[in-house]
Amino acid sequence: MENEPNTEYRCKPASYLSRDGDADRIIDWSGCDAVILRDTVTGAATKEWTEVKACWSPEWVYVSFLCQDRHVVSDYTKRDEPLYEQDVVEVFIDEEGDGIRYMEYEFSPHNVIFDAKVENSGANSVAKLDLEWDCEDLRTTVVWESDELLRYVICFPATAFKDGLKQGTRWKVNFYRIDEDTEGNREYQAWRPTGAVNFHTPSSFGTFELTT
pLDDT recorded at residue 173: 98
Contacts of 200 (CB under 8 A, 6+ apart): 92, 118, 120, 124, 125, 126
Distance between CA atoms of residues 142 and 203, nearest Å: 30
What are φ and ψ of residue 74, in 5° steps? Answer: -160, 105
Inter-residue contact 32 to 55 (CB < 8 Å): yes
pLDDT tens, residue by residue, 142-180: 999 999 999 999 999 999 999 999 999 999 999 999 999
pLDDT recorded at residue 162: 96
What SS3 string covers the chain? CCCCCCCEEEEEECCEEECCCHHHCEECHHHCCEEECEECCCCCCCCCCEEEEEEECCCEEEEEEEEECCCCCCCCCCCCCCHHHCCEEEEEEECCCCCCEEEEEEECCCCCEEEEEEEECCCCCEEEEECCCCCCCCEEEEEECCCCEEEEEEEEEHHHCCCCCCCCCEEEEEEEEEEECCCCCEEEEECCCCCCCCCCCHHHCEEEEECC
- The pTM of this model reads 0.95
pLDDT tens, residue by residue, 117-136: 999 999 999 999 999 999 99
pLDDT mean over 200-204? 97
pLDDT recorded at residue 4: 62
pLDDT tens, residue by residue, 80-95: 999 999 999 999 999 9
Which residues does residue 62 pair with via DSSP β-bridges, in sequence order? 55, 155
Q: What is the mean pLDDT of the chain?
A: 95
CA–CA distances in Å: residue 197 to residues 16, 153, 176: 37, 25, 11
pLDDT recorded at residue 23: 46
pLDDT recorded at residue 5: 73
pLDDT recorded at residue 49: 98
Q: Does domain 8-210 sit in CATH 2.60.15.10?
A: no
Q: Give the residue among 118, 119, 114, 112 at the shortest CA–CA distance from 135.
A: 114
Domain boundaries, the chain: 8-210
Would you give the end-to-end CA distance of the chain in angstroms?
Answer: 32
